[in-house]
Amino acid sequence: MNAPQRRIAHLDMDAFYASVELLRYPELRGLPVVIGGRNEHQPTMRADGSKHFSRLRDYSGRGVITTATYAARAMGVHSAMGVMKAAQLAPDAILLPVDFPLYRHYSHLFKAAVSGIASQIEDSGIDEIYIDLSDLPDDTLALARRIKQAVKDTTGLSCSIGITPNKLLSKICSDLEKPDGLTILGVSDIPERIWPCRCVKLTVSARKPPTNSHYWVSQRLPSWRKPN
């Protein structure tokens, strides 16, 4: 007898730390912004009331970037990259220090919002969770949309969700249509949607992606952890 197919969602907040900072500094929307500076890179207020932001070119040291906005990513800057290296690619990008208490606050907010819709949640980090939707009567697409809207309403932030029969595939799928993505796959969709994926699409940490995605999925994914 076949077991009923499970519906496991992986919800990943989009560029989480950077997106939280954009709530605080909306004037930076659309600009390349990276999170990874020290306290000395805190924005300061000028005499005329405008803010002065540090730039990547102002940085010296061995720190790494925790998160970059999508505008910064378009310039080749990404999480876990050394700040000095990023400064070569995007010297004028805005640099902000990390503020973990603030990110934890928003983390609690989005997780509480999801738990109001689906109670079976597995915490997987400050910006991501797995949700077991299997026992809920609602249609999968409708549920996913409700969850995304609840996260948006509660935090002002977007997230991306992948829903498949297992955690591994859902983790891959939440990354396929970022930002603000929603990808729902059944087992029969896997050959068409997963096997053709370029390895670079599945991980930002693979420096030399194997040319055969089957290899990557079987060899690399179990230990995969994306920095953010």
Size of residue set near Mg ion by CB under 5 A: 3
Residues 111-134 as b/e (b if ≥16 CB within 10 A, e otherwise) read: bebbeebbeebeeeebbbbbbbbe
* Sole window of 11-19, 67-75, 148-156, 200-208 interacting with Mg ion (rule: CB under 5 A): 11-19
Q: Which stretch binds Mg ion (CB under 5 A): 8-16, 70-78, 90-98, 106-114?
A: 8-16
User: Which residue number, 135 or 180, has a Cβ lying nearer to Mg ion?
Assistant: 180
Give me the residues paired with residue 55 across strands. 94
| C-beta closer to Mg ion: residue 12 or 21 | 12
Assess 175 for contact with Mg ion (CB under 5 A).
no
Question: What tokens appear for 182 in the block?
Answer: 């929603």
Q: How far is the CB of 199 from Mg ion (least distance, A)?
A: 18
Among 45-53, 62-70, 121-129, 130-138, the segment contacting Mg ion (CB under 5 A): 121-129
Nearer to Mg ion, 54 or 79 (CB): 79
- Residue 50: which of 27, 34, 24 has the closest Cα? 27
Q: How many CA atoms lie within 13 A of 153 on its CB side?
A: 10
The residues in 122-141 that bind Mg ion, with binding defined as CB under 5 A, are 127-128
Of 12, 14, 21, 175, the one binding Mg ion by CB under 5 A: 12
List, by residue number, the catalytic residues. 128
Q: Taking CB under 5 A as the criterion, which residues in 43-82 touch Mg ion?
A: none
| Strands (E) located in 99-200 | 121-123, 128-132, 159-164, 182-184
Distance CA 190, CA 179 (A): 21
> CB of residue 179 vs Mg ion: minimum separation in angstroms?
12
| Degrees, nearest 5: CA angle 95-97-99 | 140
CA distance 19 to 157: 7
Contact residues for Mg ion, defined by CB under 5 A = 12, 127-128
